[in-house]
Amino acid sequence: RLVSKDGRCNIEFGNVEQSRFVFLVDIWTTILDLRWRYKMTIFISAFLGSWFLFGLLWYVVAYVHKDLPEFSPSINHTPCVENINGLTSAFLFSLETQVTIGYGFRCVTEQCATAIFLLIFQSILGVIINSFMCGAIMAKISRSKNRAKTITFSKNAVISKRGGKLCLLIRVANLRKSLLIGSHIYGKLLKTTITPEGETIILDQVNIEFIVDAGNENLFFISPLTIYHIIDKNSPFFHMAAETILQQDFELVVFLDGTVEATSATCQVRTSYIPEEVLWGYRFAPIVSKTKEGKYRVDFQNFSK
Over residues 131-146, the pLDDT tens digits come to 998 998 888 887 767 7
Q: Who has greater pLDDT, 236 or 178?
A: 236
For residue 13, the model assigns a pLDDT of 78
For residue 296, the model assigns a pLDDT of 86
- Whether residue 216 is predicted with pLDDT greater than 60 in this model: the reply is no
| pLDDT tens per residue, range 66-108 | 989 888 888 889 999 998 999 999 999 999 999 888 888 889 9
Q: Which of 91-100, 161-170, 194-203, 209-218 has the lowest mean pLDDT?
A: 209-218
Confidence of residue 217 (pLDDT cuts 50, 70, 90): low
For residue 292, the model assigns a pLDDT of 87
Domains in the chain, start-ordered, CATH in brackets?
34-142 (1.10.287.70), 146-302 (2.60.40.1400)
Rounded distance, CA 284 to CA 154, Å? 9
- Whether residue 265 is predicted with pLDDT greater than 90 in this model: the reply is no
For residue 215, the model assigns a pLDDT of 56
Q: What is the mean pLDDT of residues 258-262?
A: 82
Residue 247 identity: Q
Confidence of residue 223 (pLDDT cuts 50, 70, 90): confident
Q: What is the mean pLDDT of residues 270-277?
A: 93
For residue 59, the model assigns a pLDDT of 95
Rounded distance, CA 216 to CA 233, Å? 21
Report which DSSP code applies to 125: H
Rounded distance, CA 201 to CA 183, Å? 31
For residue 197, the model assigns a pLDDT of 86
For residue 232, the model assigns a pLDDT of 92
Query: How many CA atoms does the CB half-sphere of 58 hold within 13 Å?
Result: 34
Q: What is the mean pLDDT of residues 4-33?
A: 79
Rounded distance, CA 174 to CA 262, Å? 14
Q: Which of 8-17, 27-36, 123-132, 220-229 has the lowest mean pLDDT?
A: 8-17
- Whether residue 294 is predicted with pLDDT greater than 60 in this model: the reply is yes
Beta bridge partners, 244, equal none
Name the helix (H) or strand (E) containing 52: helix 36-64
Residue ranges with strand state E in the chain:
151-153, 157-162, 165-174, 180-194, 200-208, 225-230, 250-260, 266-273, 278-280, 288-290, 296-298
For residue 48, the model assigns a pLDDT of 95
Query: How many CA atoms does the CB half-sphere of 75 hold within 13 Å?
Result: 0
Alpha carbon 267 to chain centroid distance? 10
Rounded distance, CA 207 to CA 1, Å? 18
CA dihedral 223, 299, 169, 159 (to 10 degrees): -170
